[in-house]
Amino acid sequence: MRIVIAPDSFKESLSAVEVAEIIAQGWQQVFPGAVCIKKPVSDGGEGFVDALVAASQGQKVTARVHNPIGIAINAEWGMSHDRQTAFIEMAAASGLALLAVDERNPLLTTSLGTGQLISAALDEGIRHLVLGIGGSATNDGGVGMMQALGASFVDVQGNELPPGGAMLSRLDSIDLSGLDPRLQSCKIEVACDVTNPLTGESGAAAIYGPQKGATPAMVQALDRGLAHYAAVIEGQLGKAVDTQPGAGAAGGVGAALMAFLDARLSPGIELVIKALDLTAAIASCDLVITGEGCLDSQSLNGKVPVGIARLAKRYGKPVIALAGSVKATERQLHEVGIDAAFGTVQSVMTLDDALTQAGNNLEQTTVQVARLMYIGGKQITVE
């Protein structure tokens, strides 16, 4: 029996690497001879660097950067084994999880640290950058990131803009003459599952601002700032980024990457499937197990479990999903290629308890699913 185990992380409890390991351990309690091919996955958010470093047999590198409120921290990025590709997770330097609840204010937070991570990779001679931009705490249009890379954003008095989304409305002009020249020879790929435009009802501020600490009044101010920012970009560079799909990703970092660095935004799962060589692994397996913390309607919108299930169905492979909670309907799951889904919470408990016990609950559920497979119709070859 060959099983591909390709889960995302269980947010706030288990990394994708830990989830894959626990599932393998549970499965092998019932099928000790099973070959478990662990392929932890991320679509660009939490666990992105871990997944790609593992796939490339690379290593992690630590850089000194500034977090979203300007405090110096150590942040990790990944380097492939051949030292040709850097894997950078925006959340490591500019992530929401780096801030306490009372520190979250997208009027003030900056993406500076993400630019510093990119600069650190350039210092290592790397010219192929793969960025995951999920989980950000910012709504500054990527201005902080670009300032770290040498771009200048000034107000009408010629003063450099201070950090934060609140400053975008003061932008008068953009100067790219100081941009790091090493970027000209870079290939930049961005894992991005967000298709939101920069502004408006579906824009960065309206959709993602509240979870980053924005009040309704802040959302309106941020949206006005982003609209002004887009107008300046179009006026100076001739690039209409406002309505581009993905421009609103990571508080407008998507717009900056497209406008200033000619980066290519792709669904995160597509980049990771390629990097992990998942197609070959799934084509030759008997069963695929995927999952994430909560399997709901958002999961069905191109997230990891669906991407894995669709790939598996191209090769006629059965797919089981394990999740802390399963909110999608059976019909919805079947339509995207998931044959069976199991929630892992064993009893009524608080969210804190569910997060604390996530590993044990996942292992117990995996064992029960494997036993069900064992006593059932044996639809796959068991050796």
pLDDT tens for each residue of 253-283: 999 999 999 998 988 888 888 888 899 999 9
Q: Are 268 and 42 in contact (CB under 8 A)?
A: yes
The count of C-alpha atoms lying within 13 angstroms of the C-alpha of 301, restricted to the half-sphere facing its C-beta, is 8
pLDDT confidence of residue 381: 56
| C-alpha distances out from residue 62 to 42, 75, 106, 111, 269, Å | 20, 6, 26, 18, 25
Q: State the average pLDDT over residues 16-28.
A: 95
CA distance linking residue 225 with residue 39, whole number of Å:
41
DSSP per position, 32-97: TT-EEEE----SSSTTHHHHHHHHTT-EEEEEEEE-TTS-EEEEEEEE-TTS-EEEEEHHHHHBGG
- pLDDT single digits (tens) 87-139: 999 999 999 999 999 999 999 999 999 999 999 999 999 999 999 998 899 99
Above pLDDT 70, what percent of the chain? 97
pLDDT confidence of residue 45: 72
- Out of 46-60, 149-163, 290-304, the most confident range is 149-163
- Out of 43-47, 214-218, 296-300, the most confident range is 214-218
- CA angle, 343 then 279 then 54, to 5°: 75
Q: Which residues pair with 319 in a beta bridge?
A: 288
Q: Is the pLDDT of residue 349 over 80?
A: no
Q: State the average pLDDT over residues 154-173.
A: 98
| Range of lowest pLDDT (229-233, 249-253, 318-322, 373-377) | 373-377
Q: State the average pLDDT over residues 191-201.
A: 91
Q: Is the pLDDT of residue 44 over 80?
A: no
| C-alpha distances out from residue 334 to 337, 362, 373, Å | 5, 22, 19
Q: Is the pLDDT of residue 379 over 60?
A: no
- Out of 132-136, 191-195, 349-353, the most confident range is 132-136
Closest Cα partner for 71 from 50, 95, 55, 52?
Answer: 95
pLDDT confidence of residue 308: 95
pLDDT confidence of residue 377: 53
Above pLDDT 90, what percent of the chain? 77
Q: Is the pLDDT of residue 77 over 80?
A: yes
What is the residue-averaged pLDDT of the chain?
93
CA distance linking residue 95 with residue 343, whole number of Å:
28
Q: Is the pLDDT of residue 383 over 80?
A: no
- CA 322, distance to chain mean position in Å, is 20
Decide: helix, strand or coil at residue 192: coil
As given in the structure block, the two tokens for residue 341 are: 């889904």
Structural domains in the chain plus CATH codes: 2-41+276-377 (3.40.50.10350), 48-266 (3.90.1510.10)
Burial-class residue 137 by CB neighbours within 10 Å (0-12, 13-18, 19+). Answer: buried
pTM value is 0.81
CA distance linking residue 99 with residue 360, whole number of Å:
28
Q: Which residue has the higher pLDDT, 355 or 66?
A: 66
Q: Is the pLDDT of residue 182 over 70?
A: yes
